[in-house]
Amino acid sequence: MRNLLAQIIALYPSDNLIVSMESGNNTSGRPGSLLPGPASNPNNGLLQLVNNQGVPQEAVSICRIVSVRVTSAKYNDAITYLPTPTPAPTGCSAACEAAVRAYLPVGTTGAAIKAGGQTVAQGTVLRNEFGVLVLVGPNNNDPTFVSTCKAEILTK
């Protein structure tokens, strides 16, 4: 998620985000920064949101983020994804992550993902990468990046 957030900050600096947490809470704002800084810090664990004037608002724990939706924006093809780790993870968490990706392959329409008692993403599966699914609306708008490890209820 940290890798994606750094790219969202760079590629969508003026767009509004809706961040859904595993607790069911949501927050919104523009992408600010990863904390503690600098952005290259491999130990930053918070996403700082800012208001329309760039004033820092709340910070959210990256470890608790289920999804990040970029509203009123089109999916940016410049986004890159981390490769599957080598050796591949094993165990229950790895099996669950793989099952989520297998259930919602690229091109699945009418997909919905719930977590924390709410729908956190819906639309067409545009990307299916290790650790993350990307669902989009018509014309690849309103991309939602969902942690496959935090997805709870899936429909298609």
Residue 80 and residue 97 in contact, taking contact as beta carbons nearer than 8 Å: no
Per-residue pLDDT reduced to its tens digit, 28-42:
999 999 999 887 788
Residue 92 and residue 99 in contact, taking contact as beta carbons nearer than 8 Å: no
Mean of the per-residue pLDDT values of the chain? 95
- The share of the chain scoring above pLDDT 90, in percent, equals 88
Measuring CA to CA, which residue among 101, 155, 153, 91 is closest to residue 127?
Answer: 101
User: What pLDDT sits at residue 16?
Assistant: 97
Question: Both ends of the chain: CA-CA distance in Å?
Answer: 24
Q: Is 59 exposed, middle or buried (0-12, 13-18, 19+ CB in 10 A)?
A: middle
Tally the C-alpha atoms within 13 A of residue 116's C-alpha that lie toward its C-beta.
18
User: What pLDDT sits at residue 39?
Assistant: 75
For residue 13, cis peptide bond before it (omega within 30 degrees of 0): no
Higher pLDDT, 92 or 138: 138
Measuring CA to CA, which residue among 66, 64, 75 is closest to residue 125?
Answer: 75
pTM of the model: 0.95
Q: How far apart are CA 90 and CA 128, in angstroms?
A: 19
